[in-house]
Structure 1
Amino acid sequence: MCGRYRFSPNENGEIKRIYNLASENSDSIKIGEVFPSDTTALILADEQKDILVTGMQWGFPGFKPSQLIINARSETVKEKKMFSSAFKSTRCVFPTTGFFEWDKEKSKYLFTLSAQPIYICGFYKTFKEGARSIIITTEPNQSVSPIHNRMPLLIAKADINRYLTNDDFADDYLKRNMPELTVEKV
């Protein structure tokens, strides 16, 4: 599961550029530790397949009042009624400077990628409240598995455009192995 991540523009020039672009298109982009329901920077493709950066709230409305659905499993995203059409037509990428997971003892860990941005696969959907985004999770790699049984589906910067605009590439990407990460107890 991915329940929080870090978006720190002052730690990375690329993330700062993304923050500035998102801030031009949306108010109140959350920086620092990002929680579900926060407005966060996202990379997406418009109807003409042009790549753009904007802000959007994280979490689909749930089945109960004030419930948010923040993650979708890569193994079932194409079959679940709530997710399948949005995954097919409105994919997005969450730019981050790391993500957090907790172990069974409730200790918190930060996962990073050698001072590089971490990009997380997702998708979005428009509801009556507006557009909302969701993160895709997958089986954990060796970096994450000692801490948690799920991790975000990470994508290399070079693959973002194809993930956003190419349905076959996005379908195949759901089965990718994840890169090894640096982990730090925080």
Structure 2
Amino acid sequence: MLFTTEEKLLAAATSLIDAPEATIQAPEGTPPPRYNVAPTQMIAMMRLASPSEALLEPARWGLLPHWKKDISGPPLFNARAETVQEKPSFRDAFKTQRCVIPLDGYYEWKDKKPYFVRRVDGELLWAAGLWSTGLGQLSATMITTDAPEPMQDLHHRLPRFLQAEEARQWLIDDTTTAAQLLHPSGQELVAQLRISPADPAVGAVKNDYPELIGH
């Protein structure tokens, strides 16, 4: 996964909320630009502090539920849309702790070759997510769904990317309405995705530079 500068994030977040009275705060700043982000590392995420205030914050990529006693176990960096309302790891967060995760793009592997997925217009993608503060640490996970065509040719799962109006629904509305979004991203958004070869060096998380994403 890859994310961008704080300036671009704040501008995109303000546009996403699209309410004259709303404010976007980044009290701890956001993580610096990255070109190769792995689970358990810091990502940017946005959640609501109130109906008129959104927080753009750094969070551990890998949910730590409120009941978790230690850091053991695989990182919960993805949550399947099909089971997010029932699984103990995610159901409490789904009720009241939904967020959106901004990214410029993400990596996927096929036939041992890496690819980079981004929007053709260069705008940010917003993935539906959940947050929690287990073990005293802000953490987040990303919702995934079955991949619609033509993305199935790359991988059978896809982050649940949200259009602007869907992101507001995910953040603001009640659980019942948010649950209506637990389906694959619409074809209008999927059609905006571009897949291009990436540098195989992305397989080593220590590598973190712009050339990894290819062209």
Same topology, TM > 0.5: yes
One-letter amino acid matched to 2:53: D
Q: Whole-Å Cα distance in 2 between the matches of residues 154 and 87 of structure 1? A: 16
Distance of 1:96 and 1:83 partners within structure 2: 22
Whole-angstrom distance in 1 between the partners of 2:55 and 2:12: 10
TM-score of the two chains, using structure 1 as the length reference: 0.83
User: Tell me, which stretches of 5 or more residues in structure 2 are unaligned?
Assistant: 14-23, 199-215
For residue 38 of structure 2, the aligned residue among 35, 54, 58 is: 35
Q: Residue in 1 aligned with 2:132?
A: 125
SS state at 2:89 partner: coil
Q: 1:47 offset after TM fit, Å? A: 4.6
* 164-173 or 70-79: bigger deviation: 164-173
Which residue in the other structure is 1:93 paired with? 100
* Residue from 149, 154, 169 that aligns with 1:147: 154
Alignment of 1:1-186 (within 5 A): 5-9=1-5, 14-15=8-9, 17=11, 24-26=26-28, 29-32=31-34, 33-48=36-51, 50-61=53-64, 65=72, 67-103=74-110, 105-114=111-120, 115-167=122-174, 168-178=176-186, 179-180=190-191, 181-186=193-198
Aligned partners of 1:37 and 1:30: how far apart in 2? 16
Q: Which has the larger radius of gyration?
A: 2
TM-score for both structures, normalised by structure 2: 0.73
Which sections of structure 1, spanning at least 5 residues, go unmatched?
A: none
Determine the C-alpha separation between the residues in 2 that align with 1:177 and 1:60: 22
The secondary structure found in structure 2 opposite 1:128 is helix
C-alpha contact (below 8 Å) 2:43/2:61 kept by paired residues: yes
Write 1 or 2 for the structure with the bigger share of strand. Answer: 1
Count of aligned pairs between the two proteins = 177
- Whichever residue aligns with residue 119 of structure 2, its letter is L
Rate the CA distance shift 1:14–1:158 in 2: closer, same or farther, 3 A: farther
Deviation at 1:9, TM superposition (A): 2.6
Q: Taking structure 1 as reference, are residues 116 and 80 closer, same or farther at Cα in structure 2, changes over 3 Å only?
A: same
